[in-house]
């Protein structure tokens, strides 16, 4: 399998034809390139001899994987506070689809909600058995997003890139997606420190 970002002119044609985002990756499978967008796989295939150049065959860094420049996704001070909390050992990682589980385990987003609660006296605690905080159970509430400096539409947290242990390639997803895929709190904290 050969993966990397494909040239912008081809990417734009694929995006126009499939109505997918213009960030498209190419993988070579038996003589054809199958294009994969940042949010899903398209069924568009191109001849392997098509004239494209691979910009980044291995996505050698988080920037190659499509992470926004530092300081543009959320407040840096909150990101550092969040990273410290994730690495502190104070929070145990949960099943990754609830802010808080009955066993007292948190998702990465649940840890950010706990920090919001601690810094805003009078806020109610996260409740297990529903794990609801300010009306949300698996995404960031608006109040937390506003406090952290996240733009509307970023309910799953900022986008960070983490190097895959299987492919040694950088993959950029929201914090919640990385958490759901089993990335540990320490790796998420390192990504928040270096990229946000």
The tally of CA atoms less than 13 A away on the side-chain side of residue 144 is 31
Instruction: Average pLDDT across each block of 10 residues of the chain; the chain has 196 residues. List them in order.
Output: 35 43 39 40 35 37 61 89 96 81 85 91 66 82 94 90 76 83 90 89
Angle at 11 between CA 57 and CA 52, to 5 degrees: 55
**Which pLDDT score is estimated for 133?**
80
**Which pLDDT score is estimated for 136?**
85
What does the alpha-carbon distance between residue 66 and residue 195 come to, in Å, rounded to a whole number? 11
For 19-85, the three-class secondary structure string (H helix, E strand, C coil) is CCCCCEEEEEECCEEEEEECCCEEEEEEECCCCCCEEECCCCCCCCCCCCCCCCCCCHHHHHHHHHH
**Which pLDDT score is estimated for 80?**
96
| Overall pTM surpassing 0.75 (yes/no) | no
């Amino acid at each position: 399998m050969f993966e990397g970002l494909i040239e912008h002119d081809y990417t734009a044609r694929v995006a126009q034809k499939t109505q997918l985002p213009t960030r498209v990756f190419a993988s070579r499978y038996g003589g054809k390139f199958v294009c994969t967008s940042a949010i899903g796989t398209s069924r568009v295939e191109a001849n392997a001899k098509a004239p494209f150049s691979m910009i980044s065959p291995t996505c050698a860094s988080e920037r190659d994987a499509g992470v926004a420049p530092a300081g543009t996704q959320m407040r840096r001070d909150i990101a550092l506070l969040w990273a410290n909390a994730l690495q502190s050992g104070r929070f145990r990682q949960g099943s990754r689809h609830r802010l808080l589980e009955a066993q007292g385990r948190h998702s990465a987003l649940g840890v950010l909600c706990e920090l919001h609660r601690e810094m805003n006296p009078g806020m109610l605690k996260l409740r297990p058995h529903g794990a609801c905080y300010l009306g949300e159970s698996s995404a960031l509430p608006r109040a937390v997003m506003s406090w952290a400096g996240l733009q509307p539409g970023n309910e799953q947290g900022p986008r960070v890139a983490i190097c895959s242990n299987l492919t040694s390639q950088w993959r950029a997803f929201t914090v919640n997606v990385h958490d759901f895929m089993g990335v540990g709190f320490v790796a998420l904290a390192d990504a928040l420190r270096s990229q946000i």
